[in-house]
Protein backbone atom coordinates (compact mmCIF):
# COMPACT_ATOMS: atom_id res chain seq x y z
CA UNK A 1 0.00 0.00 0.00
CA UNK A 2 1.39 3.41 -1.04
CA UNK A 3 0.42 6.99 -0.35
CA UNK A 4 1.07 10.14 -2.36
CA UNK A 5 0.25 12.93 0.12
CA UNK A 6 2.32 15.64 -1.60
CA UNK A 7 0.63 15.06 -4.94
CA UNK A 8 -2.84 14.97 -3.39
CA UNK A 9 -2.19 18.12 -1.35
CA UNK A 10 -1.31 20.12 -4.46
CA UNK A 11 -4.41 18.90 -6.29
CA UNK A 12 -6.60 19.65 -3.27
CA UNK A 13 -5.25 23.21 -3.22
CA UNK A 14 -6.08 23.61 -6.90
CA UNK A 15 -9.67 22.48 -6.30
CA UNK A 16 -9.99 24.79 -3.29
CA UNK A 17 -8.80 27.74 -5.36
CA UNK A 18 -11.22 26.94 -8.17
CA UNK A 19 -14.08 26.79 -5.72
CA UNK A 20 -13.45 30.41 -4.81
CA UNK A 21 -13.45 31.92 -8.28
CA UNK A 22 -16.21 32.58 -10.76
CA UNK A 23 -16.28 30.35 -13.86
CA UNK A 24 -16.95 33.35 -16.08
CA UNK A 25 -13.69 35.01 -15.07
CA UNK A 26 -11.46 32.66 -17.05
CA UNK A 27 -11.08 31.07 -20.46
CA UNK A 28 -10.74 27.29 -20.68
CA UNK A 29 -8.87 25.81 -17.72
CA UNK A 30 -7.54 22.26 -17.45
CA UNK A 31 -5.95 20.60 -14.41
CA UNK A 32 -4.48 17.15 -13.69
CA UNK A 33 -6.24 15.11 -11.03
CA UNK A 34 -6.34 11.62 -9.61
CA UNK A 35 -3.64 9.14 -8.60
CA UNK A 36 -0.31 8.65 -10.31
CA UNK A 37 -0.68 5.86 -12.87
CA UNK A 38 0.49 4.58 -16.24
CA UNK A 39 -3.17 4.00 -17.12
CA UNK A 40 -6.49 4.75 -15.42
CA UNK A 41 -9.02 2.03 -16.24
CA UNK A 42 -11.98 3.08 -14.08
CA UNK A 43 -13.14 6.24 -12.30
CA UNK A 44 -15.80 6.71 -9.61
CA UNK A 45 -16.27 10.31 -8.46
CA UNK A 46 -20.06 10.61 -8.16
CA UNK A 47 -20.35 9.14 -4.66
CA UNK A 48 -18.27 8.22 -1.62
CA UNK A 49 -15.60 6.96 -1.78
CA UNK A 50 -13.66 8.57 -4.63
CA UNK A 51 -12.07 5.51 -6.24
CA UNK A 52 -10.06 4.43 -9.27
CA UNK A 53 -8.76 1.41 -11.09
CA UNK A 54 -5.18 1.94 -12.23
CA UNK A 55 -2.24 0.19 -13.85
CA UNK A 56 1.31 1.16 -12.86
CA UNK A 57 4.40 -0.81 -13.85
CA UNK A 58 2.15 -3.70 -14.97
CA UNK A 59 0.53 -3.85 -11.51
CA UNK A 60 -3.27 -3.43 -11.45
CA UNK A 61 -4.59 -1.78 -8.32
CA UNK A 62 -7.59 -0.25 -6.61
CA UNK A 63 -7.01 3.33 -5.40
CA UNK A 64 -9.28 5.03 -2.85
CA UNK A 65 -9.19 8.56 -1.51
CA UNK A 66 -9.25 8.03 2.26
CA UNK A 67 -9.27 11.20 4.36
CA UNK A 68 -7.40 13.14 1.73
CA UNK A 69 -4.79 10.47 0.91
CA UNK A 70 -4.70 8.12 -2.06
CA UNK A 71 -4.42 4.59 -0.72
CA UNK A 72 -3.57 1.70 -3.05
CA UNK A 73 -4.82 -1.86 -2.62
CA UNK A 74 -3.61 -4.96 -4.41
CA UNK A 75 -5.93 -7.76 -5.37
CA UNK A 76 -3.15 -10.32 -5.47
CA UNK A 77 -0.45 -11.23 -7.94
CA UNK A 78 -0.44 -8.68 -10.72
CA UNK A 79 -4.08 -7.88 -10.06
CA UNK A 80 -7.00 -7.72 -12.50
CA UNK A 81 -8.05 -4.85 -14.75
CA UNK A 82 -10.79 -2.90 -12.98
CA UNK A 83 -13.63 -2.10 -15.42
CA UNK A 84 -16.21 -0.38 -13.16
CA UNK A 85 -16.62 0.85 -9.60
CA UNK A 86 -19.85 1.49 -7.68
CA UNK A 87 -20.50 2.05 -3.97
CA UNK A 88 -22.83 -0.61 -2.58
CA UNK A 89 -23.25 1.13 0.79
CA UNK A 90 -21.10 3.16 3.14
CA UNK A 91 -18.96 0.13 3.97
CA UNK A 92 -18.64 -1.73 0.68
CA UNK A 93 -17.36 -0.91 -2.79
CA UNK A 94 -18.43 -2.99 -5.78
CA UNK A 95 -15.49 -3.68 -8.09
CA UNK A 96 -16.01 -5.29 -11.50
CA UNK A 97 -12.75 -6.62 -12.88
CA UNK A 98 -11.31 -9.25 -15.15
CA UNK A 99 -8.79 -10.18 -17.82
CA UNK A 100 -10.16 -13.50 -19.03
CA UNK A 101 -9.03 -15.44 -15.95
CA UNK A 102 -10.79 -17.72 -13.49
CA UNK A 103 -10.91 -14.79 -11.05
CA UNK A 104 -13.00 -12.54 -13.34
CA UNK A 105 -16.16 -11.23 -11.75
CA UNK A 106 -17.86 -8.84 -9.38
CA UNK A 107 -15.94 -8.40 -6.16
CA UNK A 108 -16.84 -6.58 -2.95
CA UNK A 109 -14.16 -4.52 -1.22
CA UNK A 110 -14.69 -3.88 2.50
CA UNK A 111 -13.81 -0.24 3.11
CA UNK A 112 -13.17 -0.83 6.80
CA UNK A 113 -11.26 -4.12 6.78
CA UNK A 114 -9.73 -3.64 3.32
CA UNK A 115 -10.57 -7.19 2.31
CA UNK A 116 -11.91 -8.76 -0.89
CA UNK A 117 -14.97 -11.04 -1.24
CA UNK A 118 -16.28 -12.42 -4.51
CA UNK A 119 -19.96 -11.63 -5.20
CA UNK A 120 -20.38 -13.43 -8.54
CA UNK A 121 -18.05 -14.97 -11.14
CA UNK A 122 -18.39 -13.29 -14.53
CA UNK A 123 -16.00 -14.12 -17.35
CA UNK A 124 -14.83 -11.18 -19.47
CA UNK A 125 -16.84 -8.43 -17.74
CA UNK A 126 -17.38 -5.10 -19.51
CA UNK A 127 -19.40 -2.70 -17.35
CA UNK A 128 -21.36 -2.18 -14.15
CA UNK A 129 -24.02 0.55 -14.04
CA UNK A 130 -26.81 1.75 -11.78
CA UNK A 131 -30.19 3.08 -12.95
CA UNK A 132 -31.72 5.50 -10.46
CA UNK A 133 -35.18 5.40 -12.07
CA UNK A 134 -35.83 1.74 -11.24
CA UNK A 135 -33.15 1.37 -8.53
CA UNK A 136 -31.52 -1.47 -10.44
CA UNK A 137 -27.92 -2.47 -11.13
CA UNK A 138 -26.91 -3.67 -14.60
CA UNK A 139 -23.85 -5.72 -15.45
CA UNK A 140 -22.63 -6.57 -18.95
CA UNK A 141 -20.15 -9.22 -20.06
CA UNK A 142 -18.98 -10.58 -23.40
CA UNK A 143 -21.80 -13.14 -23.20
CA UNK A 144 -24.81 -11.80 -21.28
CA UNK A 145 -26.35 -8.88 -19.41
CA UNK A 146 -27.59 -9.22 -15.83
CA UNK A 147 -29.67 -7.09 -13.46
CA UNK A 148 -30.08 -6.89 -9.70
CA UNK A 149 -32.28 -4.85 -7.40
CA UNK A 150 -30.09 -5.36 -4.33
CA UNK A 151 -26.59 -6.02 -5.75
CA UNK A 152 -26.83 -9.48 -4.16
CA UNK A 153 -29.12 -11.57 -6.35
CA UNK A 154 -28.32 -11.26 -10.05
CA UNK A 155 -30.52 -12.45 -12.89
CA UNK A 156 -29.74 -12.83 -16.56
CA UNK A 157 -31.93 -10.66 -18.83
CA UNK A 158 -33.23 -13.31 -21.21
CA UNK A 159 -34.93 -10.88 -23.61
CA UNK A 160 -31.51 -9.64 -24.67
CA UNK A 161 -30.20 -13.04 -25.72
CA UNK A 162 -26.50 -13.77 -25.98
CA UNK A 163 -23.82 -11.35 -27.15
CA UNK A 164 -21.15 -8.92 -26.05
CA UNK A 165 -22.69 -6.11 -23.96
CA UNK A 166 -20.41 -3.09 -23.88
CA UNK A 167 -22.33 -0.13 -22.44
CA UNK A 168 -25.59 0.97 -20.79
CA UNK A 169 -27.44 4.29 -20.54
CA UNK A 170 -30.82 5.44 -19.33
CA UNK A 171 -33.25 8.34 -19.19
CA UNK A 172 -36.23 7.96 -16.86
CA UNK A 173 -37.97 4.71 -17.88
CA UNK A 174 -36.12 4.57 -21.21
CA UNK A 175 -33.07 2.30 -21.08
CA UNK A 176 -30.60 1.38 -23.81
CA UNK A 177 -27.63 -0.93 -24.10
CA UNK A 178 -25.13 -2.00 -26.75
CA UNK A 179 -25.04 -5.63 -27.80
CA UNK A 180 -22.60 -6.59 -30.58
CA UNK A 181 -22.82 -3.03 -32.02
CA UNK A 182 -26.63 -3.21 -31.94
CA UNK A 183 -28.78 -0.85 -29.86
CA UNK A 184 -31.37 -2.56 -27.65
CA UNK A 185 -33.98 -0.42 -25.89
CA UNK A 186 -36.55 -0.68 -23.14
CA UNK A 187 -39.43 1.78 -22.62
CA UNK A 188 -40.72 0.20 -19.40
CA UNK A 189 -37.74 0.49 -17.07
CA UNK A 190 -36.25 -2.83 -18.13
CA UNK A 191 -39.35 -5.01 -17.99
CA UNK A 192 -39.01 -5.81 -21.70
CA UNK A 193 -36.35 -5.19 -24.35
CA UNK A 194 -36.33 -4.95 -28.13
CA UNK A 195 -33.70 -4.49 -30.81
CA UNK A 196 -33.64 -1.43 -33.06
CA UNK A 197 -32.80 -0.88 -36.71
CA UNK A 198 -29.95 1.46 -35.79
CA UNK A 199 -26.74 1.08 -37.81
CA UNK A 200 -23.69 -0.44 -36.15
CA UNK A 201 -22.62 1.84 -33.32
CA UNK A 202 -19.70 1.73 -30.90
CA UNK A 203 -21.12 3.65 -27.93
CA UNK A 204 -24.34 5.35 -26.80
CA UNK A 205 -25.33 7.91 -24.17
CA UNK A 206 -28.52 9.69 -23.13
CA UNK A 207 -28.47 13.40 -22.36
CA UNK A 208 -30.43 14.74 -19.41
CA UNK A 209 -33.12 15.91 -21.85
CA UNK A 210 -33.71 12.44 -23.30
CA UNK A 211 -31.72 12.69 -26.55
CA UNK A 212 -29.88 9.46 -27.29
CA UNK A 213 -26.48 9.98 -28.96
CA UNK A 214 -24.33 7.31 -30.56
CA UNK A 215 -20.87 6.98 -32.09
CA UNK A 216 -20.17 5.18 -35.32
CA UNK A 217 -16.45 4.61 -35.79
CA UNK A 218 -15.91 1.69 -38.13
CA UNK A 219 -13.74 3.24 -40.82
CA UNK A 220 -16.75 3.77 -43.10
CA UNK A 221 -18.36 6.75 -44.85
CA UNK A 222 -21.02 6.72 -42.14
CA UNK A 223 -18.60 7.33 -39.27
CA UNK A 224 -19.65 10.21 -37.04
CA UNK A 225 -22.10 11.31 -34.38
CA UNK A 226 -25.71 10.10 -34.57
CA UNK A 227 -28.76 10.82 -32.45
CA UNK A 228 -32.30 9.70 -31.78
CA UNK A 229 -35.01 12.03 -30.52
CA UNK A 230 -37.52 9.22 -29.94
CA UNK A 231 -35.59 6.98 -27.54
CA UNK A 232 -33.83 4.86 -30.15
CA UNK A 233 -36.67 4.19 -32.59
CA UNK A 234 -35.29 6.40 -35.38
CA UNK A 235 -31.83 7.82 -36.00
CA UNK A 236 -30.30 10.74 -37.84
CA UNK A 237 -26.71 11.67 -38.43
CA UNK A 238 -25.56 14.85 -36.68
CA UNK A 239 -22.33 15.09 -38.65
CA UNK A 240 -19.84 12.78 -40.29
CA UNK A 241 -16.42 12.76 -38.69
CA UNK A 242 -13.62 10.26 -38.15
CA UNK A 243 -11.92 9.12 -34.94
CA UNK A 244 -14.78 9.97 -32.57
CA UNK A 245 -14.09 7.87 -29.45
CA UNK A 246 -16.38 8.86 -26.57
CA UNK A 247 -19.47 10.87 -25.66
CA UNK A 248 -19.22 13.03 -22.57
CA UNK A 249 -21.79 14.86 -20.47
CA UNK A 250 -24.09 17.56 -21.78
CA UNK A 251 -24.47 21.07 -20.41
CA UNK A 252 -27.87 22.36 -21.48
CA UNK A 253 -27.79 21.88 -25.28
CA UNK A 254 -24.02 21.53 -25.45
CA UNK A 255 -22.37 18.11 -25.62
CA UNK A 256 -18.76 17.16 -24.84
CA UNK A 257 -17.08 14.81 -27.32
CA UNK A 258 -13.73 13.02 -27.33
CA UNK A 259 -11.61 11.85 -30.25
CA UNK A 260 -8.94 9.18 -30.53
CA UNK A 261 -6.95 11.31 -32.94
CA UNK A 262 -6.88 14.99 -33.89
CA UNK A 263 -4.48 17.62 -35.17
CA UNK A 264 -4.31 19.30 -31.76
CA UNK A 265 -6.74 18.74 -28.87
CA UNK A 266 -8.93 15.63 -28.88
CA UNK A 267 -11.75 17.28 -26.89
CA UNK A 268 -14.54 19.30 -28.48
CA UNK A 269 -17.84 20.87 -27.52
CA UNK A 270 -20.83 20.39 -29.83
CA UNK A 271 -22.97 23.48 -29.50
CA UNK A 272 -26.74 23.79 -29.91
CA UNK A 273 -26.29 24.40 -33.65
CA UNK A 274 -24.28 21.18 -34.12
CA UNK A 275 -21.03 23.06 -34.61
CA UNK A 276 -17.88 21.56 -33.13
CA UNK A 277 -15.82 23.90 -30.97
CA UNK A 278 -12.25 22.99 -30.15
CA UNK A 279 -11.38 22.90 -26.44
CA UNK A 280 -7.69 23.39 -26.97
CA UNK A 281 -5.21 22.62 -24.20
CA UNK A 282 -1.81 20.88 -24.17
CA UNK A 283 -3.11 18.26 -21.72
CA UNK A 284 -5.80 17.28 -24.23
CA UNK A 285 -3.50 16.25 -27.09
CA UNK A 286 -3.66 12.57 -26.17
CA UNK A 287 -6.47 10.20 -27.30
CA UNK A 288 -9.61 10.60 -25.16
CA UNK A 289 -10.86 7.34 -23.67
CA UNK A 290 -13.43 8.32 -21.04
CA UNK A 291 -15.23 11.49 -19.93
CA UNK A 292 -17.95 12.45 -17.48
CA UNK A 293 -19.10 15.09 -15.01
CA UNK A 294 -16.44 16.23 -12.54
CA UNK A 295 -18.49 16.79 -9.36
CA UNK A 296 -15.77 18.06 -7.05
CA UNK A 297 -15.92 21.77 -7.95
CA UNK A 298 -18.90 24.13 -7.83
CA UNK A 299 -18.77 25.22 -11.48
CA UNK A 300 -19.69 23.35 -14.69
CA UNK A 301 -16.82 20.94 -15.25
CA UNK A 302 -16.02 17.53 -16.65
CA UNK A 303 -13.10 15.12 -16.54
CA UNK A 304 -11.26 13.38 -19.35
CA UNK A 305 -9.21 10.21 -19.10
CA UNK A 306 -6.58 9.96 -21.80
CA UNK A 307 -3.26 8.18 -22.27
CA UNK A 308 -1.53 10.66 -19.95
CA UNK A 309 -3.93 10.48 -17.00
CA UNK A 310 -7.07 12.16 -15.70
CA UNK A 311 -7.77 15.88 -16.13
CA UNK A 312 -10.73 18.09 -15.38
CA UNK A 313 -11.79 21.10 -17.45
CA UNK A 314 -13.69 24.21 -16.40
CA UNK A 315 -14.75 27.52 -17.98
CA UNK A 316 -15.28 25.84 -21.34
CA UNK A 317 -18.78 27.29 -21.78
CA UNK A 318 -17.25 30.73 -22.29
CA UNK A 319 -15.43 29.64 -25.46
CA UNK A 320 -16.52 31.91 -28.31
CA UNK A 321 -13.46 31.94 -30.57
CA UNK A 322 -14.79 31.73 -34.13
CA UNK A 323 -11.50 30.23 -35.29
CA UNK A 324 -12.17 27.22 -33.09
CA UNK A 325 -15.08 26.09 -35.23
CA UNK A 326 -14.32 23.09 -37.39
CA UNK A 327 -16.23 21.60 -40.31
CA UNK A 328 -17.48 25.04 -41.46
CA UNK A 329 -19.66 23.35 -44.05
CA UNK A 330 -20.80 19.75 -44.02
CA UNK A 331 -23.05 17.56 -46.16
CA UNK A 332 -24.71 14.71 -44.27
CA UNK A 333 -26.27 11.98 -46.42
CA UNK A 334 -28.45 9.14 -45.18
CA UNK A 335 -28.86 6.34 -45.96
CA UNK A 336 -25.60 5.69 -47.75
CA UNK A 337 -25.84 3.50 -49.81
CA UNK A 338 -29.33 4.66 -50.85
CA UNK A 339 -32.02 2.85 -52.85
CA UNK A 340 -34.34 5.69 -53.80
CA UNK A 341 -34.76 8.49 -51.26
CA UNK A 342 -31.67 10.34 -50.02
CA UNK A 343 -31.91 12.53 -46.92
CA UNK A 344 -29.60 15.55 -47.15
CA UNK A 345 -28.62 17.66 -44.14
CA UNK A 346 -26.47 20.78 -44.48
CA UNK A 347 -24.48 22.07 -41.52
CA UNK A 348 -22.88 25.54 -41.33
CA UNK A 349 -24.01 26.55 -44.83
CA UNK A 350 -25.51 29.90 -45.78
CA UNK A 351 -28.70 30.38 -47.87
CA UNK A 352 -28.21 31.12 -51.55
CA UNK A 353 -25.82 28.30 -52.33
CA UNK A 354 -26.37 25.20 -54.42
CA UNK A 355 -25.79 21.47 -54.59
CA UNK A 356 -24.36 19.93 -57.75
CA UNK A 357 -24.56 16.25 -58.56
CA UNK A 358 -21.77 14.61 -60.59
CA UNK A 359 -21.00 11.10 -61.72
CA UNK A 360 -17.47 9.76 -61.35
CA UNK A 361 -16.63 10.81 -64.92
CA UNK A 362 -17.07 14.41 -63.84
CA UNK A 363 -20.32 14.96 -65.75
CA UNK A 364 -22.74 17.37 -64.04
CA UNK A 365 -26.13 15.68 -63.73
CA UNK A 366 -28.26 18.03 -61.64
CA UNK A 367 -28.17 21.34 -59.75
CA UNK A 368 -30.29 22.06 -56.69
CA UNK A 369 -30.67 25.62 -55.41
CA UNK A 370 -30.56 26.04 -51.64
CA UNK A 371 -33.07 28.55 -50.32
CA UNK A 372 -33.29 28.30 -46.55
CA UNK A 373 -33.89 24.60 -45.87
CA UNK A 374 -31.08 22.85 -44.03
CA UNK A 375 -32.56 19.38 -44.37
CA UNK A 376 -34.60 17.85 -47.17
CA UNK A 377 -35.19 14.61 -49.08
CA UNK A 378 -34.17 13.99 -52.69
CA UNK A 379 -35.97 11.33 -54.72
CA UNK A 380 -33.09 9.88 -56.72
CA UNK A 381 -35.33 7.87 -59.03
CA UNK A 382 -37.95 10.49 -59.88
CA UNK A 383 -36.18 13.84 -59.59
CA UNK A 384 -33.43 13.29 -62.18
CA UNK A 385 -33.63 13.23 -65.95
CA UNK A 386 -32.48 10.84 -67.18
CA UNK A 387 -32.99 8.60 -64.09
CA UNK A 388 -29.85 7.65 -62.22
CA UNK A 389 -28.46 4.15 -62.49
CA UNK A 390 -26.70 2.16 -59.82
CA UNK A 391 -23.26 3.52 -59.02
CA UNK A 392 -21.21 6.03 -57.04
CA UNK A 393 -21.98 9.77 -57.29
CA UNK A 394 -20.54 13.00 -55.92
CA UNK A 395 -22.46 15.93 -54.40
CA UNK A 396 -20.71 19.29 -54.14
CA UNK A 397 -21.87 22.14 -51.91
CA UNK A 398 -21.25 25.64 -53.29
CA UNK A 399 -21.79 29.00 -51.63
CA UNK A 400 -23.64 31.91 -53.26
CA UNK A 401 -20.47 33.02 -55.09
CA UNK A 402 -19.88 29.56 -56.57
CA UNK A 403 -17.03 28.62 -54.25
CA UNK A 404 -16.84 24.90 -53.45
CA UNK A 405 -17.30 24.41 -49.70
CA UNK A 406 -17.27 20.64 -49.41
CA UNK A 407 -18.27 17.46 -51.23
CA UNK A 408 -19.58 14.02 -50.37
CA UNK A 409 -19.83 10.70 -52.21
CA UNK A 410 -22.80 8.37 -52.02
CA UNK A 411 -23.77 5.07 -53.59
CA UNK A 412 -27.08 4.34 -55.32
CA UNK A 413 -28.26 0.72 -55.35
CA UNK A 414 -31.32 -0.06 -57.48
CATH number at residue 218: 2.130.10.10
The pTM of this model reads 0.73
Among candidate residues 309, 325, 341, the one where a domain is terminated: 325
Q: Which residues, other chains included, contact 363 with Cβ-Cβ below 8 Å and sequence gap of 6+?
A: none
Last residue within a domain, chosen from 300, 325, 350: 325
CB 253 within 8 A of CB 262: no
Pair 175, 304 in one domain: yes
Question: 380 falls in which pLDDT band (50, 70, 90)?
Answer: confident
Distance, CA of 161 to CA of 367 (rounded, Å): 48
Strand partners, 52: 43, 63
Q: How many CB atoms lie within 10 A of CB 151?
A: 21
Q: Which of 297, 325, 353 is the last residue of a domain?
A: 325
Q: Looking at the structure, do residues 214 and 276 belong to the same domain, yes or no?
A: yes
When pLDDT is cut at 50, 70 and 90, the band that residue 24 belongs to is very low
d(CA 86, CA 96): 9
Number of domains in the chain: 2
Same domain, 277 and 350: no
Same domain, 17 and 144: yes
Domain that residue 48 falls in: 5-325
Least-confidence region, from 5-9, 168-172, 180-184, 353-357: 5-9
> pLDDT for 266-323, tens place per residue?
999 999 999 999 999 999 999 999 999 999 887 899 999 999 999 999 999 864 444 4
Which pLDDT tens digit goes with each residue over 124-162?
999 999 998 888 999 999 999 999 999 999 999 999 999
Amino acid sequence: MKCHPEELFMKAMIIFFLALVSSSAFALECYPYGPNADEITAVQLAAFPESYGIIREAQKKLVINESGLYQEYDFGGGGLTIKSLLPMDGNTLMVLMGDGTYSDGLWLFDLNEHTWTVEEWYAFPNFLAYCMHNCTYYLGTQEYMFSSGDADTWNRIWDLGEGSFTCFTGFEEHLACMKDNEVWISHDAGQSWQSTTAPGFESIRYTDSGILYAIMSRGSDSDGLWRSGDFGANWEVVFYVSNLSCIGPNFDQKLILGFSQAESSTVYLKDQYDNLILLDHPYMQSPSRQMDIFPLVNTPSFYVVNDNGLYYLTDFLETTNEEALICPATICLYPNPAKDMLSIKLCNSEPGGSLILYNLRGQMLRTLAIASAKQFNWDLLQDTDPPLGSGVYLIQLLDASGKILTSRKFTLIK
